[in-house]
Amino acid sequence: MSGSAPVLPGATLGFLGGGQLGRMSALAARRMGYGVAVFDPAADGPASQVADAEVVAPWSDLGALERFAELAGVATIEFENIPAAAAETVAARIPLRPGPEVLRTCQNRERERGFLASRGYPQPDFRIVASAGELADALAELARPCVLKTVESGYDGKGQVKVGPGSGAGAVWQAWGGTRGILEEWVAFELELSVVCARGLDGRTMAFPAAENLHTHHILDLSIVPGRFDAAVEAEARRLAEGIANDLGVVGLIAVEFFLATDGRLLVNELAPRPHNSGHYTLDAALTSQFEQHVRAVCGLPLGDPRLLSPVVMVNLLGDLWAGGEPDWAGLLGDPRVKLHLYGKREARPGRKMGHFCVLDPSLESALAAAGVLRARLLENPGPGR
């Protein structure tokens, strides 16, 4: 269902998915005067803890999705891998932003790469492979090393494998499991960066300042803003993100991840049509956070000013940090430049995103140095009772 009139504060905003992105978006919505409803297969998720209403049911329960749609005036997504039938069921009853077609494109690497290619966006060279023979042909065309990825359900480095010079196509395909994949060139990059871009119901776009991203084991570790790259790179990344948002017809947010290759190319790596881990810095360091901007866009309100107010470094807090018990939050917050955000997850597991903190300082170098020291202290110093 479409609609052009704004959904004003006092109405209820529905979230498909109950994780931390939904939680932070829901908190922004509540601050603006909206009610919050959450649909999630698991009870008591991070978003449900701050919601007015929660529907707990499998994605396949279309009746439960219809009940969820009755609770809200407009709905959005917390992550993009929502089954098509679930998204379409909600979209048939209330506006769902971004819509099912955007999700269809972005939840499948083959469709995503095809969309980018059809519009001429720069991206790594790739081949679609559906058999050992097709993989052999693709390996003959792409220089090794390269990377084989699943076409669906991959994130944080899951569902991909590096293919080196000595690997045979048959052995790789057998180990891969014989599922349809996408073989991409291995990009030698100087750094990774991302841009979160909002697009409103009126088609207006607003891009946040680009973040420089450092990953460990394929999971985002640090986001540094402003990023340590030329102004021309920043301008081009924002231009590309705004173009992609328009061409996809996004209403809400889209995060565009880039490689800045060592040869100077700026290449689109992935798209995520939702708030993004690398945009968490905006909660503390931007005039409008990505979460408020998401609510504004989805509800048809004018977009806010995304300007950066302070240099900032965002540090992810993974479940590994809880191995010896609750971390020393008092010690962390002893630095007055720190802003701590915990997501309300009941169980800490290795690699699980449990929270983040930001360090704000007029000097980016000072913020980056402090972030490293503070995280090291969390790892080294037990909290009370450990």
Q: What is the pLDDT of residue 153?
A: 65
Q: Residue 384: what pLDDT?
A: 57
CA distances from 384 to 326, 330, 331, 376 (A): 8, 9, 10, 17
pLDDT tens per residue, range 207-239: 999 999 999 988 999 999 999 999 999 999 999
Can you give the length of the chain in residues?
386
Residues of the chain whose pLDDT is less than 50? 385-386
CA atoms within 13 A on the CB side of 275: 30
- pLDDT per position as a tens digit, 118-176: 999 999 999 999 999 999 999 999 988 999 999 886 555 567 888 988 888 889 998 88
Label residue 308 exposed, middle or buried (CB < 10 Å: 0-12, 13-18, 19+): middle
All structural domains of the chain: 12-96 (3.40.50.20), 125-185 (3.30.1490.20), 189-380 (3.30.470.20)
Question: What distance, in Å, lies between the first and last C-alpha atoms of the chain?
Answer: 52
Bridge partner list, 222: 214, 315
Decide if 318 contacts 352 (C-beta within 8 A). Answer: yes
pLDDT at res. 386: 45
Asked if 155 and 112 count as a contact pair (C-beta separation under 8 A), the reply is no
How far is 309 from 286, CA to CA, in rounded Å? Answer: 5
Q: What counts of helices (H) and strands (E) characterise the chain?
A: 12, 17
The pLDDT score that the predictor gives to residue 160 is: 84
CB atoms inside a 10 Å sphere around CB 21: 28
Is the peptide bond prior to 306 cis by the omega test (within 30 degrees of 0)? Answer: no
Q: Which pLDDT belongs to residue 12?
A: 98
Torsion, Cα of 9, 275, 48, 200 (10° steps): 20
Q: CB 61: neighbour CB atoms within 10 A?
A: 17
- Region of residue 65 (phi > 0: left; psi between -120 and 50: alpha; otherwise: beta): alpha
pLDDT at 292: 98
Q: How far is 312 from 165, CA to CA, in rounded Å?
A: 40
Which tokens go with 386?
């450990």
Helix (H, G, I), strand (E, B) or coil at 329: helix
Residue from 16, 79, 22, 15 nearest 344 by CA: 22
Q: What is the pTM of this model?
A: 0.94
Distance CA 182, CA 269 (A): 13
Per the CB < 8 A criterion, the answer to whether 17 and 40 are in contact is yes
Tokens of 351: 């690699």
Cβ atoms within 10 Å, residue 343 = 19
CA distance 139 to 186: 12
Q: 40: which 2 tokens?
A: 């999630």
Residue type (1 letter), 37? A
